[in-house]
Structure 1
Amino acid sequence: MSMISTEDLYQVYLANPIISTDTRNITNGCIFFALKGDLFNANQFAQHAIEKGASYAIIDEEQYVSEKCILVKDVLSTLQDLARHHRKQLQIPVIGLTGSNGKTTSKELINAVLAERFKTFATFGNLNNHIGVPLSILAITPSVEIAVIEMGANHQKEIELLCTIAQPTHGIITNVGMAHLDGFGGFEGVKKGKAELYAYLKATNGYTFINRNNPNLLEMSAAAGLHKLVYYGTENGNTIKGSLRSSDPYIEVDWTNHDESSSVKTQLTGSYNFENILAAICIGDFFDMTPMEINTGLAQYEPKNNRSQLTETASNKVICDFYNANPSSMAAALNNIAVLSADKKTAILGDMFELGPESAEQHEIIAKQAAASGLDKIILIGKYFFAYKDQLKGVFFETPAEAADYLQKNSIKNNLVLLKGSRGMKLENLLQYL
């Protein structure tokens, strides 16, 4: 059986422009891509997808061939090649976005701003890896005028690969921090990995938005030899100059774009989001949006996905920030709750994953910061934090289940509570006891 060319498959895609990789989400007329992982082989479900309404199934194991199956050498690389081909047909600005912290919030803010004037597309949720980015690109329809594509990575060469798929014309690294240290091989490895976006923009003569207050980003952009630079920050001489007026609990920002000054009150909490808001202002301004359009987009954005989300329960106000955690974001969240106004404050922190050899040291640093924060109560959960139970102030549990049992018997009331940990800790399960 001869293999189908990317161009021929693209014609099939144009006639059936919805892609699915999950038989639970089959829509009539979609194309099902039978991906494989360590624990699954979707080739086995190709026929099931067709029976549920898929027009075609893309498979890479001949034994599963049936009518409406298209056999290829490798389903994942075929998906990526199809996305590259589709991207080349799109004559629109694509903003590539990566960073250690704030990626998804920044992406949502940028999209909220740009959507006030343009027909936009932004990465759905956090579909930001080697599968998510091609799926995102293939979801861009001809009516879209500008796209914001989030790119995540936990090892080097990953951003480089994603850039070949998303082919960004503009780019931004939100920051570089202590995240995925295991995969990147330490902090210098993180910088090197994220800088692959700068290298791509240099090679393709793209525009780069840079936070001038971040010395790591300035160093990385200089090393990459970038020259189409658009700066934002707190000093004069930037395209966008901003200052944090208030962040208790919601962020208000004053900003200037050379010509006029403006202010905006957002629905975001956490002073660490100030730079994400400035980035969105800078990008909106770059695309000739008015201050009123920019401010409207920012003011209307409501945080979701348990990122810097302030939730009122029957008993407490809870900063829900348990989508993910690393030492940089954990330190910022502790600094933030320390300065917020509240009669009583509690921090409930869960282990941080993917830190490799630095795991013990980084958990000790955060546990010490929490102990010294002056908060009324510190609860630390997970095997890494638990190692410090005899050395530091706080209530320690090895598992979230033990913490849940404690919270049921020792209820917290009338507190401002920070609830933060890595995704795998599933701290959302504790919210019902707060």
Structure 2
Amino acid sequence: MRVNRLTFDFLLKATGGKLNGRRRRITGVSVDSRTIKKGEVFFAIRGEVFDGHAFCKDALKNGASCVVVEKDCGLKTGYIKVQNTLAALGHVARRWRQQFTMRCVAITGTSGKTTTRRIAAHLLKGQFACCESMKNYNNLVGLPFAVLQIEEKTEIAIIEMAMNRRGEIKKLAQIADPDMGVITNVGRGHLEFLGSLGNVAAAKAELLQYLKQRDVAVLNADDPYVMKIQRKTKAAIITYGIDNKADFVAGSLRIGKRGSTFSVNGESGFYVPLIGKINIYNSLAAIAVSSLLGLGSKEMKRRLRTVRAEKFRMNRISIAGVILYDDSYNANPDSMGAAIRIAAREEGKRRIACLGDMLELGKQSPVFHREVGRSLRQHGFDIVFLYGPLSRSIQKGFENNGFSGKVFHFSDREKMIRKLVRTAKKGDIVLIKASHNNRFDFVADALIKSLKGRT
């Protein structure tokens, strides 16, 4: 990624590293040797599957100005040695952030953080020079890239933060240095590492603990766990909600197949072309942020109407007479239940669910998967495609509750895709959803490609 004005002096001061080799012109940073551009610095990050140190020579061959390493990788020159490459990337981004005095909004939550970030950025970009997190760049590897986008002209940075362990939000906050923090909700995600909803809430609260007395925390008043952790911050608290008393309250809800209308604090005329009640919450959080940053309601209403859904996140797509709900990016028990309810509202000849494993749920995983099975039966799904070993519990959930439809279980994703493509017919409603590592975006893309070929 291109980063203007990044120098070797800056890099060495930020990382505390030692350069072995001569200084070259730096054009940016990268963690991918395959896509690195000429002049970029390659950070050799150790991941769960690959170790970037194995690709340092490739990075230099492909044009890297140098590589940042924490261990020997067979190079005699062209590298900066540091204690920890992941920490070094964070130090570079933190030092970069410290050069600027613009407003910074950090958004976290089990569900809805990406959409809230996207809506807030869309609203504010009409009046302010904004930058925002790209794609899913929201963890200790990705967030530094979002911060390194900040320039002199940037007035507002909108940064998304994700975690699956305690301590990660704290580190992300230290890098981004937000003066406004948003927590969308606390749900049943990453329980394998966190153990309980209370621990999930405590991990999210690290953002609140970072905020200072002059800062602002924007919190979901309808989420009991979010309300429990509000006392952990010194910042001013602004709330939003639908059911409970809040500073920003949505009312007069009309939830349609393509979007929703609602009022805010009694003012009508708000419309968001995103599906489901969850996106009213996401919109409300973004409206609260935008209002606090000085955007008027007239401009918010105008821009809210032109928001577009993120790809693979509850997209309603109509092709060749098939209504596809593509929510394939990720899944947890709460978001899975919400997606099933949304798809079930659609009228069609058959309701088809194509679901994969929900990951990182720990010991309660079978219980949560059976819960999904019961929901499928309750909402009248006719055909269910399941993928992955954990999804066997989904099957148990609906078979033990009188499910009379067809079910197909697969351990081979490509075979499932072929069967799904053959099965989907005009008049069908299809829901596609799974945790990200199942790569159900491939499933959605394959079905869309097939359906387009029928038109």
Asked if TM exceeds 0.5, the reply is yes
Deviation at 1:111, TM superposition (A): 0.8
Structure 2 CA distance, aligned partners of 1:64 and 1:142? 39
Deviation at 1:208, TM superposition (A): 0.5
In the alignment, what sits opposite 1:158?
Answer: 168
Contact 1:116 1:294 in 2 (8 A): no
In the alignment, what sits opposite 1:208?
Answer: 217
After superposition, the C-alpha distances for 1:225-278 in whole angstroms (9 at most, x for unaligned) are 5450112223696332222533221222333358xx242332211222110011
Change (3 A) 1:111 1:57: same
In the alignment, what sits opposite 2:307?
Answer: 301
Deviation at 1:328, TM superposition (A): 0.6
1:93 to 103, 111, 124: 103
Deviation at 1:167, TM superposition (A): 1.4
Contact 1:59 1:65 in 2 (8 A): no
Change (3 A) 1:331 1:244: farther
1:414 to 408, 414, 427: 427
Contact 1:252 1:263 in 2 (8 A): no
Structure 2 CA distance, aligned partners of 1:366 and 1:34? 40
After superposition, the C-alpha distances for 1:250-309 in whole angstroms (9 at most, x for unaligned) are 222333358xx2423322112221100111111111111122321233222211321011
In the alignment, what sits opposite 1:427?
Answer: 440
1:183 aligns with 2:193: yes
In the alignment, what sits opposite 2:4?
Answer: none
Q: In structure 2, the residue corresponding to 1:23 is in which secondary structure?
A: coil
Deviation at 1:177, TM superposition (A): 0.5
Q: In structure 2, the residue corresponding to 1:403 is in which secondary structure?
A: helix
In the alignment, what sits opposite 2:248?
Answer: 240
1:6 to 11, 14, 24: 14
**Aligned residue identity for 1:137:** V
Q: In structure 2, the residue corresponding to 1:310 is in which secondary structure?
A: strand
In the alignment, what sits opposite 1:81?
Answer: 91
Contact 1:46 1:69 in 2 (8 A): no
1:265 aligns with 2:265: no
Deviation at 1:125, TM superposition (A): 0.6
After superposition, the C-alpha distances for 1:387-427 in whole angstroms (9 at most, x for unaligned) are 43553424141334453354355443312222111122333
Percent identity of paired positions between Structure 1 and Structure 2: 29
Structure 2 CA distance, aligned partners of 1:371 and 1:289? 45
In the alignment, what sits opposite 2:353?
Answer: 347
**Aligned residue identity for 2:371:** I
In the alignment, what sits opposite 2:329?
Answer: 323
In the alignment, what sits opposite 1:125?
Answer: 135
What are the ranges of 5 or more consecutive residues in structure 2 without an aligned counterpart?
1-10
In the alignment, what sits opposite 1:249?
Answer: 257
- Superposed CA RMSD: 2.8
After superposition, the C-alpha distances for 1:303-327 in whole angstroms (9 at most, x for unaligned) are 1321011112224010100100000
Structure 2 CA distance, aligned partners of 1:257 and 1:34? 50
Structure 2 CA distance, aligned partners of 1:161 and 1:7? 16
Contact 1:119 1:144 in 2 (8 A): yes
Within 5 Å, which residues of 2 pair with 1:10-25?
16=26, 18-25=28-35
Q: In structure 1, the residue corresponding to 2:390 is in which secondary structure?
A: helix
Structure 2 CA distance, aligned partners of 1:243 and 1:59? 54
Contact 1:43 1:64 in 2 (8 A): no
**Aligned residue identity for 2:228:** E
1:103 to 92, 100, 113: 113
**Aligned residue identity for 2:227:** L
Contact 2:322 2:424 in 1 (8 A): no
What are the ranges of 5 or more consecutive residues in structure 1 without an aligned counterpart?
none
Structure 2 CA distance, aligned partners of 1:21 and 1:430? 27
- Greater shift in the superposed pair: 127-136 or 37-46: 37-46
Deviation at 1:110, TM superposition (A): 1.0
- Greater shift in the superposed pair: 75-84 or 335-344: 335-344
Contact 2:272 2:280 in 1 (8 A): no
Structure 2 CA distance, aligned partners of 1:192 and 1:13? 44
Q: In structure 2, the residue corresponding to 1:96 is in which secondary structure?
A: strand
Within 5 Å, which residues of 2 pair with 1:59-78?
59-62=69-72, 64-78=74-88
After superposition, the C-alpha distances for 1:362-393 in whole angstroms (9 at most, x for unaligned) are 01111011111123444444322324355342
**Aligned residue identity for 1:423:** H
Q: In structure 2, the residue corresponding to 1:295 is in which secondary structure?
A: helix
**Aligned residue identity for 1:254:** F
In the alignment, what sits opposite 2:370?
Answer: 364
Normalising by structure 1, what TM-score? 0.89
1:196 aligns with 2:206: yes
Q: In structure 2, the residue corresponding to 1:81 is in which secondary structure?
A: helix
In the alignment, what sits opposite 1:335?
Answer: 341
Change (3 A) 1:231 1:63: closer
Structure 2 CA distance, aligned partners of 1:47 and 1:409? 45
Structure 2 CA distance, aligned partners of 1:246 and 1:199? 36
Contact 1:242 1:253 in 2 (8 A): no
Change (3 A) 1:265 1:20: same
After superposition, the C-alpha distances for 1:121-142 in whole angstroms (9 at most, x for unaligned) are 1110111111111222122222
Q: In structure 1, the residue corresponding to 2:391 is in which secondary structure?
A: helix
Deviation at 1:47, TM superposition (A): 4.2
Change (3 A) 1:62 1:182: closer
Deviation at 1:355, TM superposition (A): 0.8
Structure 2 CA distance, aligned partners of 1:53 and 1:40? 21
1:397 aligns with 2:403: no
Q: In structure 2, the residue corresponding to 1:383 is in which secondary structure?
A: coil
Change (3 A) 1:37 1:374: closer
1:33 aligns with 2:46: no
2:181 to 171, 174, 178: 171
Structure 2 CA distance, aligned partners of 1:82 and 1:24? 22
Structure 2 CA distance, aligned partners of 1:96 and 1:208? 10
Deviation at 1:168, TM superposition (A): 1.2
Change (3 A) 1:276 1:411: closer
Matched residue pairs, number? 427
Contact 2:15 2:88 in 1 (8 A): no
